[in-house]
């Protein structure tokens, strides 16, 4: 995701706002973006405070040109729901050919 595009460091709040306003998660859910699991491990249970068998995941959202449009972290519970806020937590977002990151 880096190297090809200019990048800009922003706050976690600004990144979440960009991610949510442009509906990256909803677009991934609808199939516009494919989702590729980059990491899949057990979280640190005391820190995550998530149920047993929850997975800590890093996911890349990719567009039809296989370009990574976002990288998110999520806690995927055994029942398929997402932990904590119920939404993925963006770490990087490609918007208007610029990478925004925390």
The answer to whether the beta carbons of residues 61 and 28 sit under 8 Å apart is yes
Scored b (16 or more CB within 10 A) or e, 31-41 reads eebebeeeeee
| 2: pLDDT strictly greater than 80 | no
In whole angstroms, what is the distance from residue 27 CA to residue 42 CA? 27
- List, for residues 23-74, the tens digit of each pLDDT value: 999 999 999 999 999 999 987 655 667 777 888 999 999 999 999 999 999 9
Q: Is the dihedral of CA 62, 67, 68, 70 positive or negative?
A: negative
């Amino acid at each position: 995701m880096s190297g090809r595009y200019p990048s800009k460091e922003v706050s976690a709040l600004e990144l979440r706002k960009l991610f949510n306003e442009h509906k990256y998660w909803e677009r991934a859910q609808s199939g516009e973006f494919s989702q590729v699991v980059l990491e899949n491990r057990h979280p640190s249970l005391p820190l995550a405070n998530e149920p047993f068998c929850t997975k800590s995941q890093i996911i890349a959202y990719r567009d039809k040109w296989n370009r990574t449009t976002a990288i998110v972290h999520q806690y995927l519970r055994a029942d398929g729901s997402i932990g904590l806020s119920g939404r993925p937590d963006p770490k990087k977002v490609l918007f208007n050919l610029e990478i925004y990151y925390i």
